[in-house]
Chain A
């Protein structure tokens, strides 16, 4: 059973701080990694995708991937109250098509 594990939180950080979200996955054959943000009552929306080891930065967001440790993280710099949401880690692997499975999500609260 392929799994994606996340700390469910909630993670609470003050406005302006760095929020660090972590994710581990079980399948070493996983090829693509994503972070989605989901506001309450809304559908998930893509924040970052990462495919190779190392860091990938996009504005205030940085995704980090370590395939040897089977570990993906998301850093949010200068956190804003509008960043308060559930963050879902997703992992994709090929099984005749690209199957994408999700972690349970981490709830983030940014306090003003």
Chain B
């Protein structure tokens, strides 16, 4: 079990540039989540996928944010154009979704620290 893999670990970019964050979930997990963490707002759910299908994107802050999951082993979160207020740590997490009738816990990646100047 290699765990959830995120890249890059750190990203520094200038305002207006496009940023793409990447995530490889744990093999066999069918749910994938993107979270953003800041001191002010805590850990916010941006979007989650179940079996590669976006289920709830109500947390995506605005149209500048988009996420895709083209297959079970890869997901991207894109910000275009980026703004300084997007600076945060972005976490990807995956889950096998259910254990019996209950959902199982999330497994987090190490996160991507994004700084937009």
On whether A102 and B97 interact (CB within 8 A), knowing A34-B105, A43-B111, A96-B55, the answer reads: no
B71 to chain A minimum Cβ distance, whole angstroms, is 17
* A17 is an interface residue with CB less than 8 A from chain B: no
Inter-chain contacts of A104 with B (CB < 8 A): 42
The interface residues of chain B, by DSSP majority, are classed as strand
A32–B108 Cα distance when bound, in Å, is 17
Complex contact B42–A102 (CB within 8 A): yes
Q: Does B106 contact A (CB under 8 A)?
A: yes
Bound Cα distance A42, B33 (Å): 17
| Interface SS, A side | strand
- Classify chain A's interface size: 20 to 34
Interchain Cβ contacts under 8 Å between A and B, 29 examples: A31-B101, A31-B102, A31-B103, A32-B103, A43-B108, A46-B105, A46-B106, A51-B102, A88-B43, A90-B106, A95-B55, A95-B56, A96-B50, A96-B55, A97-B31, A97-B50, A97-B55, A98-B31, A98-B97, A98-B98, A98-B103, A99-B48, A99-B56, A100-B45, A100-B106, A102-B35, A102-B43, A103-B42, A104-B42
Residues of B near any A CB (own CB < 8 A): 31, 33, 35, 42-43, 45, 48-50, 55-56, 91, 95, 97-98, 101-106, 108-111
